[in-house]
Amino acid sequence: MVWIRGGRMNRKFKKILKITGITLLSLLVVAGISLYALFHNEIKTINSMEKVNDYPLYTMNYSGDYGIDEFLKTGASNDQELVDFIVKKDY
């Protein structure tokens, strides 16, 4: 078929482009919301960085759960158990 201005194929093509654009935009929004939901504590922590002086010295507020309560319940009798707990907690 020939692409005629204002023709049937042109309207169909525009409709396909519109649906594709809306779908891609929706996927980007959902991906952005999902990433923020997963990493909001990390993002908040990084955004809290402030330069104190030119030494350079920075401060940062950690936002999130250290996992201390869980660690206090299980405890660690040696260094390897502590390392295992930290690795399991972070990953």
DSSP secondary structure string for all residues of the chain: ----TTSHHHHHHHHHHHHHHHHHHHHHHHHHHHHHHHHHHHHHHHHT-EEEETTTEEE----S---HHHHHHH--SSHHHHHHHHHHHH-
pLDDT of the residue at 15: 93
Tens digit of pLDDT for each residue in 30-76?
A: 999 999 999 999 999 999 999 999 998 999 999 988 888 888 888 88
2: pLDDT strictly greater than 60: no
> Residue 16 — very low, low, confident or very high, per pLDDT cuts 50/70/90?
very high
